[in-house]
Structure 1
Amino acid sequence: TFTNLSSGADSYTWAFERGSPSISSQQNPTVTYNNEGTFNVSLTAKSGTNEDVELKTDYITVGSSGGPLSVDVVADPSTTICELGSTTLTATASGGSGGFQYTWTWDIDNQTVNGNVLSITSLTQSTNVYLNVVSGTQQVSETIRITVEDNPPASVVGKGSPERILICPHPELEYQWFRNNTMIDGANKQFYYPGSAFDLSGTYYVLTKNTTGCQSFSENYTVGINKGTELEKSEFISVYPNPASSGFNIDLNPELLLNEVQDYNIEIYTLSGMKVWEKSFSPGFNLKIAPPVNLSSGLYILKLSGDNMVFDTKKLLIN
């Protein structure tokens, strides 16, 4: 409220810079200021044809009701995302005069977005995001770095003729194999071997994930072989002579032995399950083995395993 100290006047005209009202003829007007700043006030007093003007320069100073302007930015899920990923930035301002104007820009395409929420999708490269907040005569700026991590490679190759093992040729990742669009339980190694008794035909792909949590799906890999004679064409091991009367040999198929399997194991069991011989080896080992064991007449089971998986079994008859 402004108090008029004039005397001898019969009319008054007030002028309030950026005030509401900006002009008043009341003797003692009340004025509201909605903007921060420093403003002039003038009063013109009249009596007949006489008038007197009083100008007060920078007379009214309007400050922030909430203190200095500040802004906090939260990223969901994070400021580090995977290639082609998305994130949402939410800005919350405080202080200032209570009314906030948010403006976002970023490096990649120089877009400008208004509002306190910015959603960015399908990013393929890292970028800086710039936020400017204005409240009255105050403003504050923030720079947010959005880092885009590369997705891991993902592809599938087959080994054997026809294929008996599917491999993702990219090491040091996490893996999950799928067949006909269904996740295969427990198939989380760099290679996938369904077993000789399994119908291998179908469409396969692998999901890979790296240490930053980014992931990729491979292209589909179609396998067209079924149970039966086709699978027998591609064996991990062969035993000869079989039946055998004394010594026998074990041949390993170099096309199917995987460098990804650190230790293989060959074992011979009786039909009652008693182990009578075993040997461990790594890929690159001599591919022909003559077990130095004397077996009594009967039927035996020879098993090739590694990485807690059984790759092949063979029956061996000793006469």
Structure 2
Amino acid sequence: MKRGKFLSVLIFSTVLIFNSVQAQIKTESIEDWETGNMSQYDWQTGGQADWYITDQDPYEGVYCAQSGLIYDNQTSWLSLEFDVYSAENISFWLKVSSEQGWDFLRFYIDGNMINDWSGEVSWQQVSYPVSAGTHTFKWEYYKDGSISSGADAAWIDYIVFPPMEIEAFFTTDTVYYCENDIVTFYDQSVGPITEWYWTFEGGMPNTSTEQNPEVTYENEGEWDVILHVSDGVETSTMSIPDYMTIGSVPEIAPTPTGISLLCASWGSSSYSTTGMSGITSYDWLLEPANAGTVAGTSTNATVIWDENFLGDATLKVAGINYCGVGEYSEPLNISVYLPEVSLMLIAFVSISTPPFQLTGESPPGGEFSGPGVSNGMFDPAAAGLGEHIITYTYTDPNYCTNSATDMITVTEFTGVYDQPDYDELVIYPNPNNGNFTIKAGIEINESVDLRIYSTLNKIVFEEKNIDVNQDFNKNINLSNLAKGIYYVHITGSKTDIVKKIIIR
């Protein structure tokens, strides 16, 4: 296995004995279009109309090539670049049907016109000498500025080229594969190849005599590929060091780093992981899914937390390369929280009551705000008659802030009718989880209605015509309700009692 990739392609041709084949004269190459198309060689065609393959009156076999349909002062040409191994002749059969002396089939070698034909010419064979080396053969049908005659076309068939010089060449769909992938190598060698011998460093198999072999690589790395080809006389070799790059699925990624105790009001937080070699991107995974979303596909990512999420979450990361997604890292545990803040104020106060210190907050150390509030004191006269929302805001040592609210009602009375002492109606536990008990300490001596309201003044529980005496003890289950503050309201002809409860 090698590192430090560079590309070096070695192609060379020699006249050698290949697989113990005795030296012999190289054979000629033939184009007779019996494939039904122009795929046997790298033909090029152009002008105002392309040459095409036809089955109409070929010299031999089923097919021949015919010039395209053109008009005055137009051409249709067919050409091929050919590597000639040794000096020999090129021969071909031709036919012409054109205006005598004005419209021509012309034959060129390397841009030099060798001969031309005009009029009605039946199938005939011609031959011309060609030197060794690379040459361009071109057949062109030309029309002058006026008049057409005959079929107005030219045909060629059964071209015998000089012996062709072979050249080894191969390709793959890509040079980047993963461990145990199947790689197909495609022989693209030029010439009448009859034998192939491949060498695959690090591959299975590591050699092959197939034309287009399939190979797998068990280990990552960069591996050489060599192809030798032969036509029985000449051998050509193509060798590419470090041609194949074999990768593997990334290993487990390092655990992310970043803040693990997070205030929910901060909205977002940033995290990172240590980069790994060969990784194209990273996949970040936040669980549970309702905790928020992750932005970023690099070694750095930002979590945008859902504004309603509180609790524990985990963040993991995995590396991605062209072989797939690697194993996710160990999780980073993250706690998203808000300080637990509560506020329970007295429900009613007379407007004539002097300013007093607000209490009932938890934890201590925060600040009160709202109508009639100044430096933690509430002034009923400044607030005025009516219901007033008081807010208690607390910031913990982690600079995380939360708040709670409660309502004070300022009335004109010093009490609420002649109702019994509030202390004789007990609710426990309070705060609670939605399960609590209402107990009366004295006999009210009348039937009352019991209603429980949310802070939005919506009735969440109601029971009417309850006889209340000293043995009154009623359990209520509101565990299906959201956490928050609720009001217990007991009313009768002589009774109007309001108690506040907190469900946590």
TM-score, normalization: structure 1? 0.47
Q: Which has more radius of gyration?
A: 2
TM-score, normalization: structure 2? 0.32
